[in-house]
Amino acid sequence: MRNPVYLDYAATTPVDRDVAKAMAACLDIDGNFGNPASRSHVYGWNAEEAVEIARAQLAMLIGADAREVIWTSGATESNNLALKGVARSATRRHIVTSPIEHKAVVDTCKFLETEGFEITWLTPSADGITRPESLRTALRPDTLIASIMHANNELGVVNDIAALGAICRANGTLFHTDAAQSIGKVMIDVRTMPVDLISISAHKIYGPKGAGALYVRREPPVRLSPLLHGGGHEFGMRSGTLATHQILGLGLAAEFMRERMVEENERILGLRNRLLAHLRQLPGTVLHGGDAPRLPGIVNVGFAGVDGETLLNALDDVAVSSGSACTSASVEPSFVLRGIGVPDDLAHASIRFSVGRYTTTEEIDYAARRVTEVVTALRSPHDAIDTN
């Protein structure tokens, strides 16, 4: 029996084979296993060097100074550090965000509400984009920070973070973006973009799970209080022994994304468009996000007249999702689709397809054929569904 076709790269990516080999070389007695904070012997020196090379590699991907990269356990921690870290030392008490952000931002903002902060929830457009004019209208003299994701993790649509950041900068407001989905797929250059804080995840770019980073602008400086104390690691912003193998993996994965971005985007976009062309031949197919700018690899498609749970269960040979992996346990329709006005019945019948580095044309054609077969059968109750 063949393995299912994997079209859930937005949930997580496999670790690049060369990245995995480099990481493995940091684990045993013959490798670079030392503590990067141990500066009294060669094992520590070598580990620290590997960490700093990785820091420079990730910084190059976004045009940053290496000293602006803070290692974390992933984008969830980075989002928490950005928002709570800024809030802890602030006198301003107003925050602006969107209800279709990743849960790591939504839930953090809801927590900060319990701490006395006022949250303004911007209404996204029907295509999932947060318009600059809506942000401008929401800002106040006491607005501390605005947090708007670069690319939506369920829709794939891309916000204009340069324009959003410029509006915040003019108001004296910090601007944070969750770039977990977009990093290495859309050009980010912090030298020209007025973005103060950027959350990054390794496992979305063929690096390891459990590794991430937060970009923290140095000029103008961002005042950030740590969430974790004990040793003053990471320029005093995030204490804890650094996982050399994971950090090395993130750095190398970032370097590969920078080197391959143009070529890889072109190939993945071609595969995504091929898939979408197949699916659009099905009547009642709806592309969520419409014609908004989007990442090369993500499409979210609704199939009218189909029960989504039954559809997913029938597609046991195609690995896809009904939304964010972080909310997959919920039986409710996607809060992102609801947030852009998609009716519950269509939201329930929607699937996110995400294409990646190892996807082939044959897999795209197979997946499209299986979706067509299953959707057609579900719309015709007297037909059996072949899941083999």
User: 307, exposed or middle or buried, with CB in 10 Å at 0-12, 13-18, 19+?
Assistant: middle
DSSP 71-119: EESSHHHHHHHHHHHHHTT-S--EEEE-TTS-HHHHHHHHHHHHTT-EE
How far is it, in rounded angstroms, from Cα 156 to Cα 158?
6
How far is it, in rounded angstroms, from Cα 302 to Cα 351?
6
Please list, residue by residue across 309-324, b when 16 or more beta carbons sit within 10 angstroms of its beta carbon and e when fewer do. Answer: eebbebbebbbbbbbb
How far is it, in rounded angstroms, from Cα 121 to Cα 233?
34
Sign of CA dihedral 190, 194, 198, 202: negative
Has 109 been annotated as catalytic?
no
CA Rg, the chain, in Å? 22
Q: Which residue among the candidates 26, 109, 168, 326 is catalytic per the annotation?
A: 326
Please list, residue by residue across 214-246, b when 16 or more beta carbons sit within 10 angstroms of its beta carbon and e when fewer do. Answer: bbbbeeeebebebeeeeeebbeebbeeebbbbb
- Tell whether omega for the bond before 220 is within 30 degrees of 0, i.e. cis: yes
CA 101 to chain CA mean position, Å: 10
Catalytic positions, written as ranges: 326
